[in-house]
Amino acid sequence: MNATPRTSDRLATLLRPGRSRALAGFALAAVLLFAVAPVLLSPFRLGLLAKFLCLAMVAVGIGLAWGRGGLLTLGQGVYFGLGAYLMAMHLKLADAGPGGVPDFMSLYGTGEVPWWWEPMRSPAATILLIVLVPAVLAGLLGWAVFTRRVRGAYFAILSQALAAAFAILLIGQQQTTGGTNGLNGFRAFFGYDLTDPVNQRMLYLIAAGVLLVMVLVARQLMVSRFGELLVAVRDGEDRVRFLGYDPAAVKTVVYVVAAVMAAVGGALFVPIVGIISPADVGVVPSIGFLVGVAIGGRATLLGPVLGSIAVSWAQTTVSEQFPSGWIYFQGALFILVIAFLPGGLASLVRRRRRGGAAPPDPRDDDAPTDPAPPDPAPVPHTEGRPA
Amino acid sequence: MDILLNQLFAGLSLGSVLLLAALGLALTFGQMGVINMAHGEFMMAGAYTAFVVQGVIGSAGVSLLVALPVGFVVGGVLGLVLEATLIHRMYHRPLDTLLVTWGVALVLQQVARDVFGAPNVDVTAPEWLSGAVTVGGIALPKTRLFILAVAIVCVATLSVALRSTPLGRRIRAVVQNRDLAEASGISSRGTDRLTFFIGSGLAGIAGVALTLLGSIGPTLGTNYIVDAFLVVVAGGIGQIKGTVIAATALGLMQAFFEYSTTASVAKVLVFVVIVAFLQVRPQGLVTVRTRSLV
Amino acid sequence: MRLRTPAATRNLGGLSLAALTVVTLTACGAQVDSPGADASAATGTTCVDTSGDTVKIGFLNSLSGTMAISEQTVHDSLQLAAAEINADGGVLGKELEIVTEDGQSEPTVFAEKATKLITSDCVAAVFGGWTSASRKAMLPVFESQDSLLFYPVQYEGLEASPNIFYTGATTNQQIVPALDYLAEQGVESLFLVGSDYVFPRTANKIINAYAAAHDIDVVGEEYAPLGHTDFSTIVNKVKSADADAVFNTLNGDSNVAFFKEYSNAGLSPDEMPVLSVSIAEEEIGGIGVENVKGQLTAWNYYQTVDTPENAAFVEAFQAEYGEDRVTSDPMEAAYDSLYLWKGMVEKAESFAVADVQEAADGVSFDAPEGIVTVNGDNHHIAKTALIGRIGDDGLIHTEWSSEEPIEPDPFLEGYDWAQDLS
Amino acid sequence: MTDVPATTEVETGPDVETGAAVEALLGTDTSRFRHDYLEVRGLRVTFGGFVAVRDVDLTVTQGDLRFLIGPNGAGKTTLIDAITGLASATGSARFGGKELLGRGTHRIARDGVGRTFQTASVFEQLTVLQNLDIAAGARRGPGTLLRRRRGVPEPVEQALELVGLSALRDTTAGVLAHGQKQWLEIGMLLVQDAHLLLLDEPVAGMTHAEREATGELLRRIGSQRVVVVVEHDMEFLRSFADSVTVMHQGQVLAEGTVADVQNDPAVVEVYLGSPVVSDPTPPTGADATPVSATATKENA
């Protein structure tokens, strides 16, 4: 086919960083995560970063579902919590030893391990369930609501109510879930002592590796035909239907992917932070996940990750200085970005890039095709049609 | 039998509370498509208004009645400011209004904390609302009867206003076809502002009424916002009727589930029922049939 | 249209996978069942610096979020105690340097900030925490880092950590005396109302065991989700159950809605008193005095306690924070905790954790509530139990006192009826 | 973003004359649909109490470029909505021997029914190429979907050429001119392999030259596929329609050749009261031979 560079090609290319840039970006990220951070940061700060990486995993999924798919999911805390609780149950059972009973159950409950805890005695089953349970729940729920064309604001509100219900359910089952206390006081992670600094560093590296893998998965999904289809569904669900696709299936798939990513993030969060409680899964943390995604740039690949890490980092450092100031800062930042810069900070970067020279071969891009027009406002149009 | 009647009243009363909280949302979300998460904070502002009015007037008997219209204005003005600064540029992206207003809600809560202090404050219920009216062996707390009455008055006024005043017709015209309405000389900007003013003002009234039942603190609104949105979603968009039915139904369900199980389980059950219901009627209880597609 | 080679992707994936594998393989630390694990578990190599004129301590309270309402007051009284101690020459001649952190009402943040205070700020001890969840989240941190936490709030018991000093009441210093009092008043049936979380559930377990052994009927037990705002159904149940008294373990905002509903439904303290264990002077203003006057509370301290120490404490507190401020039990327990730590350090003549733990037993303080003494076995404090009645002035007045400090018994081992509890 | 490169403007627009691509695209695998026809019987759509479409019978065969006209609110779009599963209807609508009513929209689409919309609805944030590629891919398996698109599928390439958008293949669809968007939509129908094409006002807002080009394209497509065009433009209709169905108040008012319906007094009456039609030469009046709606049906 015709390989002559076309003027129109330049336009398209300007929207996408070149392959070399993407490669360099990943390499830089890998070096930063695997080499620089462990050397420069104190164990405490490294532990914090590990926690932020877990939260960033949720953000990757949200970036896919919301930025690309237009599904504003206000209930990712549910899947984060599922993964976290499953992992925490395993750690509690492992600490208790074979046939043992987790301490809190004998303190507050009957001292009997309920049947649905039993599978988590096996490490393999736990890892499997951390992926399966959220996938199945998200699949069923997604399929149910998407085939009935519950979408836009309705979906957002339903997912939010789901988070609220999930937190209430957890709190109410104190004897088996630890109630508001949640699950905590873990000693070991698959046999490795959690208080050992070497093992803590290992956990950090695992989190960094998993996050990178997730970013690669997200990238593959974005650049694939599925990614194009996803944008099409976001911008014109009915139109896609008239082309012979079932948009419900597309949405369900991306919803499941986001759920699994959140669950894996939650599962790693538990050994790193040492606690999971309903305070980490309800309505407020669920919306909190969105903050970083929105600020970083919802429709981009790295925007959600970087945004999420930056926001977490800012929250920790700013709130150390000004406890109540942080809330004003966070609120104001969120308002300004969403209202005036819907593409997030990533769109600023891209806007600046447009001034630069075009890469030599326009078609040689290896980066996710970003559907958002750079100017004036990349509006992921979501169906807000009331009826 | 007494219990049944008691719970019936409890459910209706809870329904009226939900209705008050959701009525303004039915306007701003249902009619304008704006998902205003700060609606709860407008309620909070109404509640603090009642507190301030009481401090100024002193007499509890009068201050509540004064606080209702003042609360309406306070909520309305807050809404107006929000609309004029942020919302008006976002009508075409409803999901983003959700996020922006969530940020606004955060800030408003912190403002309340910094202005009024973190601890809850108290509004004294007027003497004429203390105690209960006994009807057929059932004690009906006067405060709850009062809230029921406020809810009924609000609904009645709103539906009459929407149906038969020129303002209401303008609102409905803009809601149904913005472009056409503008072409017919209706200023949609003005109408948007007015709708948002009234919707937010209703939140203010709800806040004042709630001082009779619960605590007045910075987080007052967050306790109601999720339920209020569920009411609007279940009720369907575009008509007040759906909101009224949904609020009543949710209130009754919560009351009876709570009686037979526990408050926590009841909340989860109500959620399950709503999801199941939306499977049957994805657009809610009452929908305006429309031919506009794609 | 040129076809793209997949090489870039593949290399990249390979790169990071390889990196991951390498680091995972090389970075294996101690396993739990490997020898020497216990040694590595307590790797809390302390960085506390006591060489200078000052010593750092950490205050960790929620200054933002939902719990800020309560925890800010504790923070205030901790600051007061620190200022007093510094004015009086400090601890072992060293001035206290306060590092404040905000727990943000989230357990994970408490754990994170506790780690920071211990490992980055190198504080000698941490004072703070309120909810059980925050304490449970911090406990593993303090144990693994081998540092000290002073926890100032009455709680559900069933815990004793060498690294935590519990300066609020445990169950046998608050709930059990409250039940004793009710039994003494001839109460034969109880209705239990609580928020749905660990303290009420554990408290109610104890109450049920007590009731079974003392011929008291528990005629109802209801839990409301935290932040629940509509109590008409629960009050309906209370009313129809017609118990002699209500035992209330509701938390925070829910109390407001509950008591408004309670008085609106025509229930009064005369016919069915409510005994609350989570309502202190701070909360009464928010509930509205008219809704709670005449109701009962169980604590170890009230602002009205008549001791010279309390008069000085209240005066100093109001001078610092305003005449309209009230003092409450958790504030007083926090205030005590700093003085108790001072006493332990001075007895040990050392800031080292092990020395402080060693010296803790028997350290006492003439607190505003009366004399309090540290129990070296379980790290709780011997305190006097007080049942109070809420007055028209919005303050709580002592109705009944255990007269003597009660020795702490967090696992209720000294009570026959409680043997099956845990 | 509005600066669509000037070089490309020269060669945009359907290019039917050089139509190797047309043959390639339209000629592929039409055998299974050959001599298929759309058959609508007793179709009825109600919204609440309002009957939008009332007992419509309609038969359209291959090679018969059918225009559907009528004043606003006559039920034209609703009829298309019903056939494509967007509006629920009673009665029957069969294509290729299959009943369409009561089935999901995407299943109907997979059976070869495609449509366009009054306002061109393309995926504005995707490129022209991506739009067409998606349209071509409803039957792709997960394996294909999850891989990156490499190269351009043959039908997409042909469609690009056919609708004259080859040069703009990598342009974001949102910045296309109005007419270009409508061509893109038609292109999407073609690669979608639709054999029943329902086009809702495909030439609205186009220049005269663009209309001519579009008309030629439709005529070419109509010879191989079943095509129904909803259109208000009478001049366009006279130039390209093989037959016309007139709807009014949800019912079929008349049907036949252009001349037939122009002389139909019922049609004249309806249209004289309606300002919608921009017809420069009104029908010749009441003295023309009346042709009843039922009689003209035989022409179909």
Q: What is the mean pLDDT of residues C389-403?
A: 95
pLDDT of res. C14 = 41
In total, how many domains does chain A have? 1
Query: What mean pLDDT do residues A151-165 have?
Result: 87
Of B289, B293, B294, the CB nearest to D48: B289
| Rounded percentage of chain C residues whose pLDDT exceeds 70 | 89
Domain ranges, residue A76: 42-384
Q: DSSP string covering B194-263, please?
A: HHHHHHHHHHHHHHHHHTTTS-BSTTTTHHHHHHHHHHHHHH-SS-HHHHHHHHHHHHHHHHHHHHHS-H
* Inter-chain residue contact C1 with D148, CB threshold 8 Å: no
Helix or strand or coil: residue A332? helix
**Reduced to 3 states, what is the DSSP secondary structure of residue D1?**
coil
Q: Which residue of B has its CA nearest to C222?
A: B262
Which of these ranges, C151-155, C210-214, D88-92, has the smallest mean pLDDT? D88-92
D10 in contact with chain A, both atoms CB, cutoff 8 A: no
- pLDDT value of residue C17: 46
Q: Please give the C-alpha separations between residue C415 and each of C166, C213, C378, C421, D194, in angstroms, as whole numbers.
A: 20, 11, 16, 10, 83
**C114 HSE (CA, 13 A, CB side):** 35
CB B82 within 8 A of CB B107: no
SS3 call for C165: strand
- Residue where the block lists tokens 């509509």: C230
Burial of residue C232 (number of CB atoms within 10 Å: 0-12, 13-18, 19+): buried
**pLDDT over 50 at A137, yes or no:** yes
Which domains occur in chain D, in start order? Answer: 20-33+62-82+112-273+287-298 (3.40.50.300)
Least confident among A135-139, A143-147, D270-274, D283-287: D283-287
- What lies within 8 Å, CB to CB, of D76 at 6+ separation is D68, D69, D70, D200, D230, D247
Residue of C nearest to A41 (CA): C120
Contacts of C283 in chain B (CB under 8 A): 119-120
The answer to whether residue C219 scores a pLDDT higher than 90 is yes
Q: What are phi and psi of D68, to 5 degrees?
A: -115, 115
Q: State whether CATH 1.10.3470.10 applies to domain C6-169+310-382.
A: no
pLDDT bucket at C358, cuts 50 / 70 / 90: very high
How far, in Å, CA of D142 to CA of D144, rounded? 5
Portions of chain C given CATH number 3.40.50.2300? 6-169+310-382, 172-304+385-418
Nearest to D209 by CA among D173, D248, D236, D245: D236
Give the whole-angstrom CA distance, residue A336 versus residue A345.
11
Nearest chain A CA: its distance from B78 CA (Å): 16
Give chain B positions within 8 Å (CB) of D81: 293
The per-residue pLDDT for C404 is: 92
Domain C172-304+385-418 has CATH 3.40.50.620: no
The pLDDT assigned to C85 comes to 97
Task: Note which residues in 3-62 of chain C have CB less than 8 A from chain D.
Answer: 3-4
Share of chain C above pLDDT 90, in %: 70
Distance from CA of C19 to the nearest CA of D (A): 25
Instruction: Please give the CATH topology (third level) of the domain spanning B2-280.
Output: ABC transporter involved in vitamin B12 uptake, BtuC (1.10.3470)
The set of chains that have 3 or more CB pairs under 8 A with B is: A, C, D
pLDDT digits (tens, 9 = 90+) for A221-267: 999 999 999 999 998 888 899 999 999 999 999 999 999 999 999 99
The per-residue pLDDT for C251 is 84
CB contact under 8 A, B107 and A328: yes
CB D195 within 8 A of CB D100: no
Give the separation between CA C44 and CA B13, rounded to whole angstroms.
Answer: 57
Q: Count Cβ neighbours within 10 Å for each residue of A309-346 and write b for 16 or more, e otherwise.
A: bbbbebbbeebeeebbebbebbbebbbebbbebbbbbb
Interface test with A, best of C62, C72, C76, C108 (most A CBs within 10 A): C108
Residue A332 lies in a domain: yes
Strands D226-230 and D196-200 come out as parallel
First to last CA, chain A: 46
pLDDT at residue D177 greater than cutoff 80: yes
Residue type, C253: D
Buried b (16+ CB within 10 A) or exposed e, B74-87: bbbbbbbebbeebb
What residues contact residue B58 under an 8 Å CB cut-off, 6+ apart? none
Q: How high is the pLDDT of residue C204?
A: 93
Does position D281 have pLDDT exceeding 80, yes or no?
A: no
* Contact across the interface for C3 and D150, Cβ inside 8 Å: yes
- The answer to whether C140 and C357 have CB atoms below 8 angstroms apart is no
Q: Is residue A3 part of a domain?
A: no
Whether A119 maps to a domain, the answer reads yes
Q: What is the mean pLDDT of residues D120-144?
A: 88
CA distance C224 to C234: 8
Beta-carbon separation of A232 and D123 below 8 A: yes
Whether A148 has its CB under 8 Å from any CB of chain B: the answer is: yes
The more confidently predicted of residues A276 and A23 is A276
Rounded Cα gap, residues B36 and C200, in angstroms: 35
pLDDT of residue B67: 94
Alpha carbon distance A303, A344 (integer Å):
8
Contacts of C290 in chain B (CB under 8 A): 124
Q: What is the pLDDT of residue C87?
A: 96
**pLDDT at residue B167 in the model:** 78
Chains in touch with C (3+ beta-carbon pairs under 8 Å) read A, B, D
Q: What percent of chain A has pLDDT over 90?
A: 46
Query: For chain D, how many residues are written?
Result: 300
Q: Which pLDDT score is estimated for B90?
A: 86
The answer on pLDDT for D3 being more than 80 is no
Measured distance CA(B234)–CA(C138) in Å, rounded = 42
Instruction: For chain C, positions 94-113, list CB contacts with chain B under 8 A.
Output: none
Listed range (A8-22, A164-178, C50-64, C324-338) with the worst mean pLDDT: A8-22
Assigned domain for A113 exists: yes
Size of interface B-C (CB pairs under 8 A): 124
Write down the ipTM of this complex. Answer: 0.85
Distance (Å, rounded) from C-alpha A52 to C-alpha A42? 15
Q: A385 is written with which tokens?
A: 């049609």
pLDDT band at residue C38 using 50, 70 and 90 as cut-offs? very low
Q: How far apart are the CA of D211 and the nearest CA of chain B, in angstroms?
A: 25
For chain D, the maximum distance between any two Cα atoms, rounded to a whole number of angstroms, is: 66
Q: Which of A361-370, B173-182, D172-181, D245-254 has the lowest mean pLDDT?
A: A361-370
Largest CA-CA distance found in chain B, in angstroms, rounded: 60
| Residue C69 identity (one-letter amino acid) | I
Are the Cβ atoms of C43 and A196 closer than 8 angstroms? yes
- Least confident interval from A165-169, C127-131, C316-320: A165-169
C-alpha distances out from residue B162 to B31, B155, B169, B172, B173, Å? 11, 10, 6, 7, 10
